[in-house]
Amino acid sequence: MSKLIKKPIILPANTKIEIKGEEITVIGPKGSVTKKFLTEFVDINTNENKIFVVPKFEKHSKRTGRFIKKLAGTYWSILNSMVLGVNQGYTKTLQIVGLGWKANQKGESVELSVGYSHPVVFTPPKGVSVKVEDPQRITVSGVDKELVGQVAANIRKIRKPDSYKGKGIRYADENLVLKESKKGAKGR
């Protein structure tokens, strides 16, 4: 069984949790996050300022027992991310690499000039903010870890890094391995 689910998730003083059937909402100082969980296989209980994730084994056979253990560990991790998100928030930083390539802030949207014949406008979904720190750097932030990661991936997908020169939109901490150019073309 996952070692994590043996530990309770401790709620900070300014954080609340609401459980309504399969829907769980965590409310904190930075906002709130709501997710759905299957309660058929896992019980999620609260006691004072602690959240407990307990797998249900009575109804199911041995074959699904491994699935239930994995599901309980996954739910624990998601709930922990929700608690951290509403208290600290999550951020991802993207970097634009390329001569003359840049980003401009247009209200809540971002306008990207990344080598296409026209600028690309990206509007983030509700709950996520996208800020242009300088023309080569974009910061994506929000309280939902999954949504912040997906928005950052969608922005990166607009112009993925080239494998030869490294031009494109990449994560700030991403380490690219560049390919060597074709050797036969250099000598001719």
Do the domain assignments include residue 178?
no
Q: pLDDT tens-digit profile of 32-58?
A: 999 999 888 888 989 888 999 988 876
Query: How many structural domains compose the chain?
Result: 2
Residue 162 burial (10 A CB sphere; 0-12, 13-18, 19+): middle
What range does the domain containing 50 cover? 4-87
Predicted local distance difference test score (pLDDT) of residue 144: 95
Q: pLDDT tens-digit profile of 26-36?
A: 999 999 999 99
Mean pLDDT of all residues in 117-129? 94
Do the domain assignments include residue 181?
no
Residue 54 in tokens: 């307990």
The CATH number linked to 30 is 3.90.930.12
The residue from 87, 108, 139 where one domain ends is: 87
Does residue 104 surpass a pLDDT of 80? yes
Do the domain assignments include residue 179?
no
Does residue 185 surpass a pLDDT of 70? no
Assign 133 a pLDDT band (cuts: 50, 70, 90): very high
Q: pLDDT tens-digit profile of 7-30?
A: 999 999 999 999 998 899 999 999
